[in-house]
Structure 1
């Protein structure tokens, strides 16, 4: 069984503070640290989704992540609704590939790209850590 199976269903929280309470960024931070040995910075999680999109776009940490066309296990996935990137998850190479993410309406889920689209998400890009 894949390590991610134990995370499915963990609850979403707007502030993501707690051992089992996550917003999308805090979830990605935890996954990157525990399963890929990468430390990501803490960032504020404003309620304003446009502000969150600007944080994802402009945060200095983004310089350490290179956009790639074909994702590999552990790459970050930036997601958008409409034209604004406001959500992040982690690519897993399971069942043909998909995104492990923590969404407001469902908590932690694993979704293939077709399921993401059905839920209103579009993949903005795949990002690989480059030390």
Structure 2
């Protein structure tokens, strides 16, 4: 059984920090640490969409990730529903590939690229961890 299976169905929470409930960034941090041995910086939970955009643009954590054209197991997937990226998940190489992410109202789910699009998510970029602990 793939490691990602154990996460599907865990709850979403604005203040969640694992192991049973998460928000999208806390879920990425948890998976990177537990499954890939990578320490990823915390990002405070933003209150508005504008706060999210500002955090993604200016946070020093982004310097530890390199944009790549094709995702591999464990890469970070930055997503958007409109113009700006506001959501993040982890690429999983099963069933043709897809994103494991924690969504408000649903919790942790796995979605193929076509399922993501049907849910209104567009891939903004794939990022590969380049920092210490990789």
Match of 1:72 in 2: 72
Deviation beyond 3 Å, 4+ runs, structure 1: none
Match of 1:10 in 2: 10
| Per-residue deviation, residues 2-46 of structure 1 (Å, max 9, x unmatched) | 111111000000122353110000000000000111101111111
Q: Is the 8 A contact 1:14 1:47 kept in 2?
A: no
Look up the SS of the partner of 2:85 in the other structure. strand
Structure 1: 5+ residue stretches without partners: none
CA distance in 1 between partners of 2:19 and 2:123 (Å): 28
CA distance in 2 between partners of 1:114 and 1:77 (Å): 15
- TM-score, length of structure 2 as denominator length: 0.94
Look up the SS of the partner of 1:26 in the other structure. helix
Look up the SS of the partner of 1:115 in the other structure. helix
Quote the offset at 1:124 in angstroms: 0.3
Q: Is the 8 A contact 1:50 1:86 kept in 2?
A: no
Question: How many residues in Structure 1 have an aligned counterpart in Structure 2?
Answer: 131
- TM-score, length of structure 1 as denominator length: 0.96
Matches within 5 A, 1:1-131: 1-131=1-131
CA distance in 1 between partners of 2:51 and 2:24 (Å): 14
Structure 2: 5+ residue stretches without partners: none
Cα RMSD over matched residues? Answer: 1.0
CA distance in 2 between partners of 1:12 and 1:120 (Å): 18
